[in-house]
A and B are shown apart, each in its own frame.
Chain A
Amino acid sequence: MITIHGISKEFKEGITGRRVKALDSLVLEIKQGEVFGFLGPNGAGKSTTIKILMNLIYSDTGKAEIGGKDVRNPEARRLVGYLPENPYFYDYLTADELLWFGGRTSGMDSRSIRERSDVLVKQVDLLNARKRPLRTYSKGMLQRAGLALALIHDPDVVILDEPMSGLDPIGRKMVGDLLVDLKGQGKTVFFSSHILNDIERFSDRAGIIIKGKLRMVDTLSNLLSTGKSLEDVFMRQVAIAEGGTAE
């Protein structure tokens, strides 16, 4: 469902314009109905990968496809629901208006948008706040509004960038339940996290990315079989990437 064919990306850094490699020949395939956890430390290249998939930045080499469509084609995004890290929306719009916007741009009619919005605002616990301007929302509420927006058009693929970031325990549980629910519906979920526990709880398969290179990718059970715990596996990979040894 999501195919990444050897994408690389460099950014210019500082006033000297020194080039820093953010992604190095990344190859990855995520099958339909799979929940894929993308694990890595801060600055590893998780968000860069997601932004390339969402066509927010362009890869220097290689290409990426969603549902067989090149990510540079806007039609590819018809299949996708996306939640950025720390989402920010229009201050003076309400959650209902935000969902109307998401639905309309995805080609939904007003009735379908209303029906789907009713379900989603209940699911993300924004029923009483749906008519309030988004500037009055807390960080957790914005995150939940973002999730509803990502799901308004019932996409086949859901891409979430650090979906648990900054959430309180109740918010984390809600997002967790939502991930389980999406998995139950057979949706393809690609989510990034630097929290090992989240990857362990929700993923079918996971990839470990460090310094722009995909170090490991396998089913969770296979990954866990290579060490005492996911933390142990992850720390070994970090040590190898830093030029040390696995032991």
Chain B
Amino acid sequence: MTALWPIALITFKEGIRNRAIYGITLFALLLFGATALVATMIPQEVGKVSVDMALSTISFTGLLLVLFVGINLMAKDLDKRTIYTVLARPLSRSQYIFGKFLGMILLILVTMCVLSLLAMAAIFLLKMSISGYFTRFSWPLIGLSIFLTILMLVLLSAISFLFASFTSSSFITLVLTIITYIIGHSISGVKALVETPSEVLGFGVSPVTVTLVRVAYYLFPNLSLFNIKLQAAHDLPVSTSYVAWTVLYGVVYICLSITLAAIIFRKKEFP
């Protein structure tokens, strides 16, 4: 832990001072402003729309953070060879990966907490001004949705670390992470579709496609599990077992990804 903390702290400082963070926060502020504007155009649905838009803003800006700040924190060490001076310290390759990841988790937590407070303030102000339309509304569900979004972002970041451990450039890591995000959000829907009987679908899906989709389903993380924005916006029940299994799934996936990244990184050479 003594070796992890200095790496985590400089990773966090390097990330939080990155100018891209200010851009992302400004973007989020504009979207929160837009939430208030759009939501008031449809008064009957203002509660649902404002919650949905605020949560989507948090999720989207978090994604920008992981893709454009997080990936750079790890991959630029390799691109610009900052890693020479870091690995010259008396620490192991695994400590480097775990320390970097700890710093990234800190960065996601702090940034998401700030954005969540802003989002909640926007929702709260709307609720105060037109409370009559916030009939089906639940703060705990909004909090739970934000928590699962943060967990999804940490998972995505762990996967980006895994990609960075074996690719040679930050651009490839970025592309692979974006592909994982897109597949991760759509794969369960695609799997359900290709497994639907052809009589119901009205057309047949080849067994090869079904096998490929099933392989992708088990290989890529199912990120749609972490999306309960709809339930939060409509105050629909989310079972405790669903949340517990999703959290367990996320934590196991994160641990596996980051451990695998550390194992690959141990073998990596920096010529």
Binding site for B on A (CB under 8 A): 11, 48, 51, 54-58, 74-78, 80, 82, 84, 87-93, 97, 100-102, 104-107, 133, 146, 149-150
B13: Cβ under 8 A from any A Cβ: yes
B82: Cβ under 8 A from any A Cβ: yes
Evaluate contact between B13 and A56: CB separation under 8 angstroms: no
14 contacts between A and B (CB under 8 A): A51-B271, A54-B88, A77-B90, A80-B88, A90-B14, A92-B14, A100-B6, A101-B7, A101-B9, A105-B3, A107-B90, A133-B17, A146-B85, A150-B88
Partner of A105, one of B80, B81, B91: B91
Contact bitstring B8-28, A, C-beta under 8 A = 1, else 0: 011001100110000000000
Which residue of A has the minimal Cβ distance to B92?
A74
Partner of A11, one of B5, B13, B84, B271: B271
Q: CA of A84 to CA of B270 in the docked complex: distance in angstroms?
A: 12
Q: CA of A90 to CA of B85 in the docked complex: distance in angstroms?
A: 10
Q: CA of A58 to CA of B269 in the docked complex: distance in angstroms?
A: 7
Q: CA of A56 to CA of B92 in the docked complex: distance in angstroms?
A: 11
Residues of A contacting B: mostly:
mixed
B2: Cβ under 8 A from any A Cβ: yes
Q: A23 to nearest B CB, angstroms?
A: 12
Residues of A within 8 A of B7 (CB): 101, 105
Q: CA of A87 to CA of B271 in the docked complex: distance in angstroms?
A: 14
Evaluate contact between B18 and A77: CB separation under 8 angstroms: no
B87: Cβ under 8 A from any A Cβ: yes
Q: CA of A93 to CA of B77 in the docked complex: distance in angstroms?
A: 14
Which residue of B has the minimal Cβ distance to A47?
B271
Residues of B within 8 A of A91 (CB): 14
CB contact under 8 A between A102 and B80, given known A56-B270, A90-B10, A97-B10? no
Q: CA of A187 to CA of B234 in the docked complex: distance in angstroms?
A: 70
Evaluate contact between B89 and A102: CB separation under 8 angstroms: yes
Which residue of A has the minimal Cβ distance to B80?
A88
Residues of B within 8 A of A57 (CB): 269-271
In the A-B complex, list the 8 residue pairs whose CB atoms are closest, starting with the nearest.
A92-B17, A105-B89, A104-B6, A82-B88, A78-B90, A84-B84, A57-B269, A56-B270
Partner of A106, one of B18, B90, B92, B95: B90
How many residues of chain B get a CB closer than 8 Å to chain A's CBs?
Answer: 26
Partner of A93, one of B14, B80, B91, B95: B14
Q: CA of A41 to CA of B91 in the docked complex: distance in angstroms?
A: 32
List B243-271 residues whose CB lies under 8 Å from chain A.
Answer: 269-271
Residues of A within 8 A of B269 (CB): 56-58
Residues of B within 8 A of A149 (CB): 85
Residues of A within 8 A of B81 (CB): 84, 88
Partner of A54, one of B10, B14, B87, B91: B87
Q: A66 to nearest B CB, angstroms?
A: 11
Q: B55 to nearest A CB, angstroms?
A: 30
Evaluate contact between B13 and A82: CB separation under 8 angstroms: no
Contact bitstring B91-102, A, C-beta under 8 A = 1, else 0: 110010000000
Residues of B within 8 A of A106 (CB): 89-90
Evaluate contact between A101 and B10: CB separation under 8 angstroms: yes
Which residue of B has the minimal Cβ distance to A102?
B89
Contact bitstring B190-217, A, C-beta under 8 A = 1, else 0: 0000000000000000000000000000
Which residue of B has the minimal Cβ distance to A58?
B269
Evaluate contact between A55 and B10: CB separation under 8 angstroms: no
Q: B21 to nearest A CB, angstroms?
A: 10
Q: CA of A107 to CA of B3 in the docked complex: distance in angstroms?
A: 8
Given contacts A92-B14, A146-B85, 4 further A-B contacts (CB under 8 A): A56-B269, A82-B85, A84-B84, A107-B2
Q: A212 to nearest B CB, angstroms?
A: 14
Q: B71 to nearest A CB, angstroms?
A: 15
Q: CA of A24 to CA of B245 in the docked complex: distance in angstroms?
A: 55
List B72-88 residues whose CB lies under 8 Å from chain A.
Answer: 80-82, 84-85, 87-88
Q: B93 to nearest A CB, angstroms?
A: 9
Which residue of B has the minimal Cβ distance to A55?
B87
Q: CA of A56 to CA of B268 in the docked complex: distance in angstroms?
A: 8
Q: A113 to nearest B CB, angstroms?
A: 10
Q: B14 to nearest A CB, angstroms?
A: 5
Residues of A within 8 A of B92 (CB): 74
Which residue of A has the minimal Cβ distance to B19?
A92
Which residue of A has the minimal Cβ distance to B94?
A74
Evaluate contact between B84 and A56: CB separation under 8 angstroms: yes
Residues of B within 8 A of A84 (CB): 81, 84-85, 88
Which residue of B has the minimal Cβ distance to A54?
B88
Q: CA of A40 to CA of B217 in the docked complex: distance in angstroms?
A: 54
Q: A37 to nearest B CB, angstroms?
A: 20
Residues of B within 8 A of A82 (CB): 84-85, 88
